[in-house]
Amino acid sequence: MTNSTPGTGASPCAVVAGHGDFAAGVISAVQQIVGTGSVFRGVNNAALDAASLERAIAVAVADSLATVVFTDLPGGSCTIAARRVARASPGLAVVTGANLAMLLDFALNGAAAAAAEHAAEKGRAAIIVVEGMEDARAH
């Protein structure tokens, strides 16, 4: 299943593919936070076999002229399918481990090839561990 997220009217320039409602959820969050969720086209793998998922991603990439496919899990079915699509699509980047910080950065900084790497760096930097929460609750 694919879907476009309504928003500012901007054409999609990246595909977000993931399990369950992952794509719809993070695209919705981008829309709510910065109003540019429409730069993404979502694909989920529900009820799709490997060949159908690959076709769904390929269609979403072609229809949106995407330069990047963001996926949820590095070794998941969406990433495997996206990598197959990328082999047949020169210049298409696949970024795995997508998170909200990463997609916000991409939505705000455009579709250039460098934007995918920049977004990946922002996504990595957004991952932190907050320690000492038990101590804070005890006082």
Q: Which pLDDT does position 111 carry in this prediction?
A: 59
Q: Which pLDDT does position 98 carry in this prediction?
A: 96
Contact between 90 and 67 under an 8 Å Cβ cutoff? The reply is no
| Residue 73 confidence class, pLDDT cut points 50, 70, 90 | very high
| Domains delineated in the chain | 2-138 (3.40.50.510)
Task: Burial-class residue 4 by CB neighbours within 10 Å (0-12, 13-18, 19+).
Answer: middle
State the chain's mean pLDDT as an integer: 87
Q: Which pLDDT does position 116 carry in this prediction?
A: 86
**From residue 97, how far is each of 16, 62, 112 by CA, in Å?**
11, 22, 19
The predicted model gives 18-41 an average pLDDT of 96
Contact between 41 and 66 under an 8 Å Cβ cutoff? The reply is yes
State CA 33 to chain mean position distance: 16
The predicted model gives 71-95 an average pLDDT of 95
Q: Which pLDDT does position 1 carry in this prediction?
A: 44
